[in-house]
Amino acid sequence: MTEITTSWICLFSPLVAVIVIALGGNRFSRRAAGVIATGSVALSFAAAVVAFATMLTRAPGNRSHLSTAWTWLSAGNLHFGLSVLVDPLSVFMMLVVSGVGGLIVLYSIGYMHGDDEERRYFAYMAMFVFSMLLLVQGGNLILLLSGWGLVGLSSYLLIGFWHERPAAIAAAKKAFVMNAIGDATFALALFLLIAKTGTLDYGLAFSKAHGLSQTVLILIALGLLGGAVAKSAQLPLHTWLPDAMEGPTPVSALIHAATMVTAGVYLIARTAPIFQLASVVQDTAAALGAVTLVMAGLIALVQTDIKRVIAYSTMSQIGYMFLGVGLGAYASGMFHLLTHAFFKALLFLAAGVVIHALAGEQDIRKMGGLRGLMPKTYAVFLVGALSLAGIPPFSGFFSKDPIIAATLERGGAFGYVMFVLAIGGTFLTGLYTFRLVFRVFHGDRDRFVDETFDTHHGEGPLVMLLPVGVLAIGATLAGWLQVPGGWHGVSSWLQPVAAPILETTNTQEAIASIVSVVLGLAGAGIAWWIYIARRRPAPAAVPAFERKFWFDELYDALFHRPAVTTAKVLYALVEGPLVGGSMAGIAEAVRGLGTGTGRLQTGLVRTYALALAASLAVLAVVFLAVR
């Protein structure tokens, strides 16, 4: 079986599950819907593994293939095929999306057990995985955009899954609108690319881009960057991601770990030739990532919702990926995408075990002392925390430090500013991560825990604990796929597609590793000093951090309030008197005409005869006058 065939199986397997669950309806039990969805994603992962193994047997220069099923869109001279691109970058993403996604869907069988809408939930989850696979496997930019839009739709449905909650509906609408802004800039970039090159095929568009003016290239790259920033929740289109925590915890893991928020990183890596031609936009991507990773880390320090702490951590870690691909260290950015998928999904699912055991409670101020009650969950959560903080030998250490080293290789004022922001982020990561660990699992147990924790239920069913355990293994070992100064498995695999434009030295990687580990441990140590040793009281929350730097208030003042005010004014001056008033006038006229006509209906035959005679007389006069 070739990698082409397996790629088609990988793509369409979740879509088949969506159709089967939707058409089956109540004929399937809720548990059967979960099994079908999980099995379809597992089949996608198996197909991705076969594609990867088959591709390994080929020479590096012969690992890119395009397969077209049929021409699905034709307009003038433009013809777009339903195609899949099978190359090292797409196979890399196929493995991450289907592998980690499959574990999350399996976990959902236990987490969502008993929910009245389980079938709808699993149909949405399978739809999300299909959408993400279409995004990464699409053989041209129009298919990438199609998957891009479907991912936004699927995330809207999943975030607002509990639609009886007003907060969930508001969060879903916010995510949809913020992502639509990026979708619009992305689409505009493609329109401009079509106008100037006449194609959206990757290879042909990239080759023709060399003949475009710098202004056009910058506009196209800015449009692509707008889409990436919105989808990956980077400044300034980031405010939707924390609110997305209103969805079920597995949804948070799926959106924030291996799939949706990493789509922007994939887009920049996939369209790297365009960004390299518009270097100022590529630097902008790196700068946005660096600022986002620091800002998100500061906000995470004061969050009290366990899922929101991890959500802001996601923003911060995606910032590292943007920094990596923005500097041209594409393999480093994609490698961090891989390790992040493991340890962030692990943290979300382990947090889900805690929330599940505490009857849905997410406030860390009501927790504490759970280490004794949930030793397995504590162990895997600690693995995820150590990996997130970049402590060796866990995977985050191996993937984050090469990005920091890339800032040193870049050099100059820009590179050194990026270095300072990146290492500042490592300190914040250690601080907020272990603040979370110590507040949830250490210290005195809150009375709420004793009253709520279900000792019979324990840490949850095996179907929840098994995926968490697998993710813990991945968070521990995945970093060894690429070792500084040693084997570079990820870089070698991605080399034909995403060749870096800068190479770091062993000295730079050593400096980055030492500084980042020291600062990460320093952050963890300060968290221990405050929350465990209690040498000093926890500092008061900084208002700017609590208010998330007032971005929501700013957008409310700039966009929401003016829009509401404009709508009210237009209703009062235009819609009310002109549209509504005219309709009322027309209705009143018709009603009056009907009333007048009704009065003529007297029921007297002589009246009708008189009217008939009068009508005939009028007609006779008319005809005589015409003659």
Going by C-alpha positions, the residue among 307, 467, 316, 526 that lies closest to residue 400 is 316
Cross-strand bridge partners of residue 482: 488
Cβ atoms of 245 and 306 within 8 Å: the answer is no
Cis peptide before 500 (omega within 30 of 0): no
Q: How many domains does the chain have?
A: 1
Q: Once rounded to an integer, what is the mean pLDDT over residues 19-30?
A: 80
Cis peptide before 60 (omega within 30 of 0): no
Q: Once rounded to an integer, what is the mean pLDDT over residues 564-575?
A: 86
Examine residue 557 and state whether it is found in any structural domain, yes or no.
Answer: yes
Examine residue 375 and state whether it is found in any structural domain, yes or no.
Answer: no
Range in 418-432, 518-532, 534-548 with the lowest mean pLDDT: 534-548
**Residue 63, phi then psi, degrees to nearest 5:** -115, 20
Q: Once rounded to an integer, what is the mean pLDDT over residues 288-298?
A: 96
Examine residue 611 and state whether it is found in any structural domain, yes or no.
Answer: yes
What pLDDT shows up at residue 594? 79
Reported confidence tier of residue 589, pLDDT bands at 50, 70, 90:
confident
What pLDDT shows up at residue 535? 64
Reported confidence tier of residue 495, pLDDT bands at 50, 70, 90:
confident
What is the pTM (predicted TM-score) of this model?
0.90
Examine residue 322 and state whether it is found in any structural domain, yes or no.
Answer: no
By DSSP bridging, strand 65-75 and strand 78-86 are antiparallel
What pLDDT shows up at residue 616? 86
Give the residue numbers spanning the domain of 614: 552-626
Decide if pLDDT at 627 tops 70.
no
94 C-beta neighbours (distance < 10 Å), count: 27
Examine residue 466 and state whether it is found in any structural domain, yes or no.
Answer: no
Examine residue 346 and state whether it is found in any structural domain, yes or no.
Answer: no
- In tens, the pLDDT along 26-48 reads 767 777 899 999 999 999 999 99
Cross-strand bridge partners of residue 138: 84
